[in-house]
Chain A
Amino acid sequence: SQTIHQWPATLVQPVGSPLSLECTVEGTSNPNLYWYRQAAGRGLQLLFYSVGIGQISSEVPQNLSASRPQDRQFILSSKKLLLSDSGFYLCAWSEWTGQETQYFGPGTRLLVL
């Protein structure tokens, strides 16, 4: 069966510091991968998605970036965090883009102070 891992579970970072969140998927090949952010009381906002190694599409202009160095690894990064980057970051995978359902990792709760 497929599993998706995210770490760390929680993170407190000062404004201006860098960020690196990692997501890995097991039990499937060539998944589509997604990074979402959920602000308190809000819906999920798609940040990035990837249909293959090195292929990243950005949905929202911001100071975040994403990379997919391996088939089942998806990394979310920032060089300098802003207060507004605080939120719940969720990684998800699906068999193929759009039509199929998405399955989520446990998420990383980020607080930027």
Chain B
Amino acid sequence: RKEVEQDPGPFNVPEGATVAFNCTYSNSASQSFFWYRQDCRKEPKLLMSVYSSGNEDGRFTAQLNRASQYISLLIRDSKLSDSATYLCVVNMGYQLIWGAGTKLIIKP
């Protein structure tokens, strides 16, 4: 089993819709979780950290489910500019473990 797993997608979603995707992790001792966004042929950029109580940043909501060992990202009122690959990142002690990403395509 991979340490961090994501559905590669692509998720094809109409503009304005709500989309959610999950990321599962294998190490129950993980303490820190992040979502990064990566545009095509660009470097990853931090989207948001994921807190135990869940957190929201505008149209984006991140949640952590420790019992089932997954984190989720919800995007409301999706925009064309949200098209990107979303990378899940989990802290495994001294380093971050990266998922391969979920590709999201927002269609007009």
Contacts and interface: CB of A to CB of B under 8 A. Distances in A.
Chain B interface SS verdict (over half) = loop
B95 A90 contact: no
A97 B49 CA distance: 16
A102 to B, nearest CB: 7
A102 B101 contact: no
Interface residues on A, range: 20 to 34
A46 interface: yes
A41 B8 contact: yes
Contacts of B93: 98
Interface residues of B, number: 22
Contacts of A106: 42-43
B87 A44 contact: yes
Interface string A94-113: 00011101111111010000
A36 B89 CA distance: 14
A60 B34 CA distance: 23
A98 B91 contact: yes
Contact of A59 (B95, B98, B101): B95
Contacts of A97: 94-95
B100 A107 contact: no
The residue in A41, A98, A107 that gathers the most chain B C-beta atoms within 10 A of its C-beta is A98
Interface string A40-56: 01111110010000000
Given A43-B101, A44-B98, A99 B32 contact: yes
Given A43-B100, A49-B95, 8 more contacts: A36-B98, A43-B4, A97-B95, A98-B96, A101-B34, A101-B49, A104-B44, A107-B42
23 contacts: A36-B98, A41-B100, A43-B4, A43-B87, A43-B101, A44-B87, A44-B98, A46-B96, A59-B95, A97-B95, A98-B93, A98-B94, A98-B95, A98-B96, A99-B31, A99-B91, A101-B49, A104-B43, A105-B43, A106-B42, A107-B42, A107-B43, A109-B41
Interface of A: 36, 41-46, 49, 59, 88, 90, 97-99, 101-107, 109
